[in-house]
Amino acid sequence: MKQAAVRSQLLRLREQLRAATDGRDLLDRKREAILRAIAERLPQREAQRREATDRLAAARSALRAAQLEIGRAAVDAAALAQPPLASIDLADASIVGVRVPALRASRVEFHPCYGPASGSDRLDAAGAAFARAIERLAAFAAGDAALRRLRAALARTARRLNALDQQLIPDIRRDIRDLAAALEEEERDDAVRRKMWLTRQA
């Protein structure tokens, strides 16, 4: 291989190494940002889980009280007459470049749509309790889904970093060392040949 071709290949490899190193640094910064985002959202998600669990437990307790008062069949019939309590909007958001779902449940007041004869105060209380739980449940679902997406992105980023650190960058560096050694040896051989030629000319 001629020296010019070796030098050209060596330059290309050094450019590849620089690009791979820059990419590795970007991925490392992204990994750190994702880790910080996860750490910030873990306590928030736990608080959302507790709030949603408490609201749902209260709603279920109120529902059991209504079932005991007027019977399960009457509660089921009243539930069928009730329209949806709230609309839930789903959109996309971004956290440190990771797409996450954004859920929003509109706050609603519970208004019984069943007849007075088919309901009770306890059934009204159960309906109101479930209406209050929806917003908390949506917030918890969004926070939990965001954490799952962030953890998946962290795993992907870690895999790419490992591939760069353990395979691509070491391979490029080894190729650079091999080519540099071959170029150095060829330059030494050229120097010896020039010296021998000059000796014969003298």
Report the CATH number at residue 34.
1.10.287.3240
Calculate the CA 11 to chain-centre distance.
37
The values of phi and psi at residue 120, to 5°, are: -160, 170
Q: Which of 135, 81, 82, 89 is nearest to 108 (CA)?
A: 135
Neighbours of 183 (CB within 10 A): 16
CB 118, CB 74: distance < 8 Å: yes
Helices of type H across 71-120: 72-81
Domain that holds residue 87: 3-201
**pLDDT for the residue 53:** 96
Alpha carbon 128 to its chain centroid, in Å, reads 35
The per-residue pLDDT for 202 is 60
**Vertex 24, ends 19 and 25: CA angle to 5°?**
100
Which of 91-95, 100-104, 144-148 reaches the highest mean pLDDT?
A: 144-148
Give the whole-angstrom CA distance, residue 93 versus residue 138: 15
Q: Is the pTM of this model over 0.75?
A: yes
pLDDT category of residue 108 using cuts at 50, 70 and 90: confident
Give CB contacts under 8 A, 24+ apart, made by 72-79: 74/118, 75/123, 75/126, 77/114, 77/118, 78/112, 78/114, 78/118, 78/119, 78/123
Percent of the chain with pLDDT over 90: 58
Mean pLDDT score, 186-198: 72
Strand partners, 99: 94
Number of domains in the chain: 1
